[in-house]
Chains A and B, each alone.
Chain A
Amino acid sequence: MSVMALAKALGITLRHFFSKPVTIPYPDAPVPLKPRFHGRHVLTRHPDTGLEKCIGCSLCAAACPAYAIYVEPAENDPENPVSIGERYAKVYEINMLRCIFCGNCEEACPTGAIVLGYEFELADYRYSDFVYTKEDLLVDTVGSKPQRREAKERKKPVKLGFEVPYVRPELEGVKYE
């Protein structure tokens, strides 16, 4: 009966009326992300020694389909090494405007140095500000460039707009808070 169908429609909408909205009011509330979300890259370190995992091999740059990565290697000083291998990345830059967040760099990396994290709030004003250098990518840095700039201006800690059920183990030593 069509009348029953109409009543059923009313029932469905009434049930929805009393259920919790699915909308996430994003800037006010954090966005729930999945652990495998592809966000801003992180250059990880060895947890014991604190040495960088990156050995400056440029395989990530070779794997990058968007040509977003630039690596310039240099020889390690044996007395005071930066990384575990013979060489380390003297310059490591990722252009976040070119990056398509495919994760090929992470796949290509032989030492697991470059890993895609969760940060996605990268919007900024100048082209040059989208080139993330080693300092911006290393594990201890929390927040994107604009976020850190804003935090510095307001003298408040960086506020991240997401939450994850757990941080996947590849992101060794990364702490989001």
Chain B
Amino acid sequence: MIWALFVTAVKALVLILALLFAFAYITWIMRRGLARFQIRLGPNRVGPFGLLQPIADAVKAIFKEDITVARADRFLYWLAPFLAFTFALAAFAVIPVGPDGWVVANIDMGVLYVFAVSELAIYGVFLAGWASGSKYPLMGGLRSIAALVGYELALGMAILPVVLMAGTLNLQEIVEWQKQHGYFIIYQFPAFLVYFIASLAEMSRTPFDFAEAEQELVAGFHTEYSSMKFVAFYIAELLHWIVGSALIATLFLGGWDAPFGLPEIPVLWLFVKWALFIFLVLWIWASWFRTRYDQMIRFAWGVLLPVATVWFLITAYYVVKGGMA
């Protein structure tokens, strides 16, 4: 019992460190990648290819003055980045990176857990907007809540056909189902599309990054935050991207399963698939516009939700008729 606890704790620690490392280098990939999309070079002064840039950024952030605005609700103002950061970090716990044992928490409610935890992180955003006592953060927080009401249903509806077909909510078992029968991106392409679009909103990335629209809201919900509190938000925000990409890779692209009969190496194949989605989101970020949040909500309710519902009913009929069983 104690041994199992110890193993889990070590796994969790490794995962947290890996995620924070991934975060540090995702900032580098983001800046260099976006620069290449815009035919620029990006940061290249600190270390070879600018590889030490994240460390320089961290040092800079730590030594910045930590400001609390006068009209802030002090407790919530402090709590918000903490919430956002913790829940963003916790969401990865159930995503398997390899066969048996290569997961921190192999729980039967894996899918629900990810959804619950990553949506709790929205409290961080909303509380930050509310507690800052300033109008731009408030607008940003309101927008992210309004968006949540839109995309969350589509997200949940798009995941149902996958769960129906695999017959389980356990992410490890979903991956194993895909290992046997083939990836869900083939069987569930409409669900994949809906899920991908909705998860762009969940990660608050272009075209749905209106919660922190620089041109209108300065920086949205984290306008009034500086120093390490800002970093906590920044980490949370990029972790949503990291976790979201890993989750799509797990649900629709077979997770850690080696494609095309290649040798099976834990972590590697999930990493490759994850990197694919990271790139895809970056690519979209560099290419597309930002929608208005009411447009996004209309799109989510008017297009994504009906498509997902109809597809869910089709899948349900298929499963009930005994296909794929």
Where the two chains meet, the residues of A that have a C-beta atom closer than 8 Å to any C-beta of B are 6, 9-10, 12-14, 16-17, 19-23, 25
Contacts and interface: CB of A to CB of B under 8 A. Distances in A.
A12 B283 CA distance: 11
A19 B288 CA distance: 19
A19 B283 contact: no
Interface in B103-152: none
B19 interface: no
Nearest to A19: B39
A9 B35 CA distance: 16
Nearest to A18: B36
A21 B288 contact: no
B287 A21 contact: no
B36 A25 contact: no
Contacts of B38: 16
A16 B283 contact: no
21 contacts: A6-B287, A6-B288, A9-B287, A9-B288, A10-B283, A10-B284, A13-B286, A14-B283, A16-B39, A17-B37, A17-B283, A17-B286, A19-B39, A20-B39, A21-B35, A21-B36, A21-B41, A22-B40, A23-B40, A23-B41, A25-B44
B40 A12 contact: no
Interface of B: 35-41, 44, 283-284, 286-288
A145 B112 CA distance: 70
A27 to B, nearest CB: 10
Contacts of A21: 35-36, 39-41
A10 B283 CA distance: 7
Given A10-B288, A13-B286, A20-B39, 20 more contacts: A9-B287, A10-B283, A10-B284, A10-B287, A12-B287, A13-B37, A13-B287, A16-B38, A16-B39, A17-B37, A17-B286, A19-B39, A21-B36, A21-B39, A21-B40, A21-B41, A23-B39, A23-B40, A23-B41, A25-B44
Given A9-B287, A9-B288, A10-B287, A17 B36 contact: yes
A95 to B, nearest CB: 34
Contacts of A20: 39
A20 B40 CA distance: 8
Contacts of B283: 10, 13-14, 17
Nearest to A20: B39
Contacts of B40: 21-23
B51 to A, nearest CB: 16
A17 B39 CA distance: 7
B216 to A, nearest CB: 21
Nearest to A14: B283
A6 B37 CA distance: 15
A77 B38 CA distance: 63
Nearest to B35: A21
Nearest to B33: A17
A21 to B, nearest CB: 5
A9 B37 CA distance: 11
Contacts of A10: 283-284, 287-288
Given A6-B288, A9-B287, A16 B37 contact: yes
In the complex, which of the residues A12, A16, A19 has the most CB atoms of chain B within 10 Å of its own CB atom?
Answer: A16
A22 B37 CA distance: 11
Contacts of B288: 6, 9-10
B317 to A, nearest CB: 28
Nearest to B44: A25
A20 B286 CA distance: 17
A14 B280 CA distance: 11
A23 B38 CA distance: 10
A49 to B, nearest CB: 49
Kindly list the 9 A-B residue pairs having the minimum CB-CB distance in the complex, ordered from nearest.
A13-B287, A23-B41, A9-B287, A13-B37, A21-B41, A13-B286, A10-B287, A16-B39, A22-B39
A19 to B, nearest CB: 6
A21 B36 CA distance: 7
B137 to A, nearest CB: 30
A164 B83 CA distance: 57
A86 to B, nearest CB: 56
Specify which of B35, B37, B284, B287 lies most central, judged by the most chain A CB atoms within 10 Å of its CB: B287
A22 to B, nearest CB: 5
A25 B45 CA distance: 10
A78 B141 CA distance: 86
Nearest to A28: B44
A28 to B, nearest CB: 9
B22 to A, nearest CB: 22
